[in-house]
A = this chain, B = another copy of it.
Amino acid sequence: MNVLLSLCALERHRDLLEQVRPEGARWFALGTDGELRVEGGTVHWDPETLPLEVAWRTTDLLRGGPLRAFYRLVTESSSLRWLQSNSAGFDSPVLSDLVRRGVRVTTSHIAGPPIAEFVLRAAMDHLQGADVWRESATQRQWQPHDFVEMGSTRWLVIGLGQVGAAVAQRARAFGAHVTGVRRSQSATSVVDSLATPQQLRDLLPSCDVVVIAAPANSATAGLVDSDFLRRMKTSSVLINVGRGALVDERALLASLDAGRPGRAVLDVAASEPLPSDDPLWSHPQVVITPHNASLGDGRFERAAAVFASNLQHYAHGEPLAHEIRSTDLQT
């Protein structure tokens, strides 16, 4: 069994990978130079003589890493049987094509903790008026102000996957009241109450914190439009850690100017990186972060644990966790 992964991932997780290595499996490690190494040497890849069976797509491949070479290898390899992605999202056409070809693709749902921490910090920064403290400090002014406690806040968390659930759990540890929005209304203990997407707009006028933690698809695109925003409280904050496509950014700027919501924290944008001339950068009620909420330092260990577990399942012919079905693909 030939396993393709990045040299970075192999070096970072060598101990764990050796512990779970199936009999006869070999690691083919792709360096940032685009070279493929096996057992320390460099090999010339030939689909006939070196059939890849498994591929592990880690996030180090994406930012400055050899993603292009990785995708060329998995795309050209007719022997590939399974690819494990470190991401939860499934909006890459390369992965969709693999599924259509009959390659098994599994996703990872490991970004809950860091994204939830990002959301809680961003929400409390708004509720506490921390920007006022920062501004006063630059003026050397000692001016206390009352702030809003979490215990008196109502949250609306749109999307109750790994991220929405992690946000809800932490917000409730502070005493916040959390309503979760999702299509399925099956019972869950992670929120105080559940609402359907149809009920969502009627709840907006009573919510202090609205978190977008839903994926981008045809049902969610443009969800946050003028009508949505007009219903929000003047003191409220909108936090988007889902996808930029869910928010109509032009409508958001207009609605912020009209005072609703009081602030928007956007970790994702319709166009990324956000162009330097985008008016979102300079709006005083907008906080921009560079698609950063998932980049907590615990993600590498969690990703490796997911791959190691699925690799053992794969070797034993057991079901794989979070396998994408062709019926999940968007047409």
Which residues on B sit within 8 Å (CB–CB) of A142? 272-274, 290-291
Tell whether A186 is near chain B: CB-to-CB under 8 Å. Answer: no
The distance in angstroms between the C-alpha atoms of A118 and B282, with both chains bound, is 27
Known: A117-B128, A292-B145. A151 touches B274 (CB 8 A): no
- Closest residue of chain B to A125 (Cβ to Cβ) is B121
Residues of A in contact (CB 8 Å), total 52
The distance in angstroms between the C-alpha atoms of A145 and B292, with both chains bound, is 7
Asked if residues B173 and A143 are in contact (CB atoms below 8 Å), the reply is: no
Residue interface mask A285-313, B partner, CB < 8 A = 1: 00111111001111000000000000000
Tell whether A49 is near chain B: CB-to-CB under 8 Å. Answer: no
Which residues on B sit within 8 Å (CB–CB) of A189? none
Tell whether A175 is near chain B: CB-to-CB under 8 Å. Answer: yes
Asked if residues A152 and B298 are in contact (CB atoms below 8 Å), the reply is: yes
Q: Which of A20-28, A66-74, A130-138 contacts B (4 or more CB under 8 A)?
A: A130-138
Asked if residues B152 and A276 are in contact (CB atoms below 8 Å), the reply is: no
Residue of B134, B144, B150, B272 near A63 (CB, 8 A) is: B144
Asked if residues A173 and B175 are in contact (CB atoms below 8 Å), the reply is: no
Which residues on B sit within 8 Å (CB–CB) of A121? 121, 124-125, 128, 130
Known: A120-B120, A120-B124, A133-B292. A276 touches B140 (CB 8 A): yes
Tell whether A39 is near chain B: CB-to-CB under 8 Å. Answer: no
Tell whether A261 is near chain B: CB-to-CB under 8 Å. Answer: no
Known: A130-B121, A144-B290, A144-B291. A281 touches B137 (CB 8 A): yes
Tell whether A113 is near chain B: CB-to-CB under 8 Å. Answer: yes
Known: A117-B174, A118-B128, A142-B273. A290 touches B149 (CB 8 A): no
The distance in angstroms between the C-alpha atoms of A292 and B149, with both chains bound, is 13
Asked if residues B281 and A149 are in contact (CB atoms below 8 Å), the reply is: no
The distance in angstroms between the C-alpha atoms of A55 and B196, with both chains bound, is 51
Asked if residues B117 and A298 are in contact (CB atoms below 8 Å), the reply is: no
The distance in angstroms between the C-alpha atoms of A72 and B237, with both chains bound, is 45
Write the nearest CB–CB distance from A54 to chain B, whole angstroms.
Answer: 27
- Closest residue of chain B to A301 (Cβ to Cβ) is B152
Which residues on B sit within 8 Å (CB–CB) of A145? 292, 295
Residue of B151, B287, B295 near A298 (CB, 8 A) is: B151
Tell whether A146 is near chain B: CB-to-CB under 8 Å. Answer: yes
Asked if residues B147 and A295 are in contact (CB atoms below 8 Å), the reply is: yes
- Closest residue of chain B to A166 (Cβ to Cβ) is B174
Which residues on B sit within 8 Å (CB–CB) of A175? 113
| Residues 129 to 173 of chain A near chain B (Cβ within 8 Å) | 130, 133-134, 136-137, 140-152, 169-170, 173
**A-B contact list, 17 entries, CB within 8 Å:** A117-B127, A117-B149, A118-B128, A121-B125, A121-B128, A133-B289, A137-B289, A142-B273, A142-B274, A146-B297, A148-B297, A149-B296, A149-B297, A149-B298, A152-B298, A169-B173, A170-B174
Q: Which residues of A contact B (CB under 8 A)?
A: 63, 113-114, 117-118, 120-121, 124-125, 127-128, 130, 133-134, 136-137, 140-152, 169-170, 173-175, 272-274, 276-278, 281-282, 287-292, 295-298
